Amino acid sequence: MTTRSAFVPHTSAGQAAQRRQQQLTKPPGSLGRLEDLAMWLADRLGRATPPRLKPAIAVFAADHGVALEGVSAYPMAVTGQMVANFVAGGAAISVLAAEHGASLRVIDVGVAYPVPVPPGHGADLTVRPVRAGSRNLLREAAMSAEECRAAWQAGADVARQLVESGHTLLIGGEMGIGNTTPAAALLCALTGLPPEQAVGRGTGIDDTRHAHKTEVVRQALARARAAGAAVSCDWLAEVGGLEIAALAGFYETAAQCRVPVLLDGFISTVAALAAVHHHPDTAHWLLASHVSAESGHRHALAAMELAPLLDLGMRLGEASGAATALPLLQAALALHRGMATFAEAGVADKDAR
Ligand SMILES: O=C(O)c1ccc[n+]([C@@H]2O[C@H](COP(=O)([O-])O)[C@@H](O)[C@H]2O)c1
Ligand SMILES: Cc1cc2nc[nH]c2cc1C
């Protein structure tokens, strides 16, 4: 099967990158999506042959009142415990960030049971809680409009700081027991998808819990609709979560700073969809790393016409899918930068006689 390029240049750097790809010593299209990736990155970075990416990962953590409805396989206390694990270096994202040369920052925007972290540990922890977990979205708005704005701003500030410190690719991740429930509800609200298609198994719930979770999402949507939710920001406050709002602000600001973003899994992608609803140009800066095993993820990606690079059955979150795909981006750029052209290598091009 041949891979047809879907790349459309928006800048002169993108056009130059497209010309260079045609001159490299390979049959056109033979590096498949790696070619499109290199051209896309060159276009967004404004450089015909961009240098190695300087990636930053920011993982936003918060708890969810709705976790008390029995929608997750794990207790709420795990959110704070995992934040400590991120910082101590023992989590999947700690390992992947170190392995692939990405900086790692963890931001507590609303962990209900924080675990003290001894100073001098690995990853950088910022404690900026808006409140100790969102409210139970089944019964009331998860956040007030003011709390939602504060969480959004926390994410926006982190993105700006990471851009100002010279990072050229931003990756957002999340940690929050119960957060596939608000993500599913928000996806339904923003796309009209029925709850049965948006609700998945999260951390690994059984059939009974899955049916209950679907009903929780259905009732939460009805409650928020009756409360007058209309535009995307209303829905985010009604059925979203603190780390989801922070991620939306993070993505919107990355785009405003003209820095590309590599998306992670289901919850992160729904947060990106909220950012796109708020500011449609954000979509122009997003790349999809993988499609998660969480069933709603492919619908969230489709809503933004994003095609994932990987399909590995991952469903961990915490930016792990994006960190796994990161070497593909570095490989695409290394090939684009380092390969010889037909003229340089003295190799006969197609149709040369
Ligand atoms: O990224 C994903 O696609 C993904 C899919 C399922 C679960 N998760 C992670 O698992 C937690 C949410 O799952 P749950 O069952 O507690 O709603 C949260 O910490 C997420 O990072 C993440
Ligand atoms: C252990 C654990 C690690 C996680 N990382 C992201 N979400 C998670 C959920 C659980 C339960």
Atom of ligand 1 nearest to the CA of 179: 17
Report the complex ipTM: 0.99
Residues 6+ positions from 239 with CB-CB distance below 8 Å: 137, 142, 182, 185, 186, 189, 220, 221, 224, 229
| Secondary structure (3-state) at 351 | coil
Digit-coded pLDDT (tens) for 15-33: 999 999 999 999 999 999 9
- Check if the beta carbon of residue 310 is closer than 8 Å to that of residue 325: yes
Supply the pLDDT for residue 2.
47
Atom of ligand 2 nearest to the CA of 317: 6
Q: How far apart are CA 336 and CA 50, in angstroms?
A: 9
User: 179: CA distance to ligand 1 center in Å?
Assistant: 6
Q: Are 216 and 66 in contact (CB under 8 A)?
A: yes
pLDDT tens, 130-173?
999 999 999 999 999 999 999 999 999 999 999 999 999 999 99
Q: State the chain's mean pLDDT as an integer.
A: 97
pLDDT of residue 316: 98
Enumerate residue ranges in the chain where pLDDT < 50: 1-2
Positions marked catalytic: 318
Q: Count H helices, E strands: the chain?
A: 14, 6
Q: Which of 64, 71, 74, 79 to mutate to test the pocket of ligand 2 (most atoms within 8 A of CB)?
A: 74
> What pLDDT score was predicted for residue 121?
67
